[in-house]
Structure 1
């Protein structure tokens, strides 16, 4: 029996199509993710030939020179802009061991089957292939969440996606079979004049609510949330909210990779090393 899906796939595709024409005006989160991915990629001293840009948006990821890039996005408009393929991240239309490098920025937080997507990504990598990803997770949008809790204290509605934290992200990499898994995070704080600026950015980056069973937002609720959001303003009248960017690094297993030492194989004790 298939588990129930958290996200409405059709609504997610529509939101991405709606965001595509003006996405460049709201892409600061993905730009920060791509910067972080580029930094991590720069430390890898090897060449890549075939690259998959998974969740490509408009195709702004600059792949290393000399590589062939395949771009996939769940939205038809983004896929068309990037000259890529439309497909969901947990239903990849690619052959096993097709890529040396897979990058994914800004989409895994709204994928129904994240463990399945990660397993398919690992399958798509050749031995010793690299996976680099980033997405919004952790305790992101704490201020916005609190404002809506105040506005809907009597009848709270499901308006926010569940978030994956760093520890869970690392566990997911291990579960998917990646070698040398690393999960870490960076925090980006953004300040807004009002609630509507933040909501506008979320819509513009296709980051608004696509939960199954979501409840329409009424004017009364929106007005109450806007007032609660404004109550949290700094002395200059602006309200800060945070985005936790979760970064993943993993390698497809290969016999040539370094292996951790077998437990109990040390030849000297820690106490001796510390001079005790």
Structure 2
């Protein structure tokens, strides 16, 4: 039965998260030895409402929003392919956080359209519905539950019923335990499973939060500055983790560390004054005169 501490944390968690219930099996030992792709049970479940038959998962078209007369987002157009790993860069105030707020339903734009696939209009959905549709967001500061263990954090985040009665009476099935073990292996915290999350290093907390999102099987992951404050070794491990998730998930990474961006990105989008200034490979972006002027200070 769930511990009192975990149950109390569950009550807090359910206010912000409303994941769906899905699970799949597979040969655990076989999958643990694979590093070329994500575990099969982590692959997002098929959702007939998320129509990606043309290969495009997210559409942000003609979006603008103002705050007290300041135009934080100005006619923004952004398209994310299914399975793509995209990096978003730009100076402070470029609109990166506001863009993610709009996609997740925290902020409503003054105009424009935002679609997940071709059938889900995100602007007609609230934050919980958007999360249920398959969009997960990781903020810059890790938001793990420090008073409970690594294992319990993943258990808390697991897709499934979050009613009070269910959480109080919850018992993990063998399959669910296997799922948690797979995520622990993926994020590199197998030996820390019984450690209180508050005792983890900064980088380990970042990986744990990514693991918590993965327990919900999102189609799109929005990741805000995942390597801020990390050591070089932790940065390398984070790059490996994000690259392993691409293909089965679409990932949008907002980051300031250009070395890290170069290590993971095939396509980079540069925002400036709430608008796309440039887009392309890291090499193309670095050689773009406008980018060098407004972002690199040259």
TM-score bracket, shorter-length normalisation: under 0.3
Relative CO higher for 1 or 2, CA cutoff 8 Å, sep ≥ 6? 2
TM-score in terms of structure 2 length: 0.26
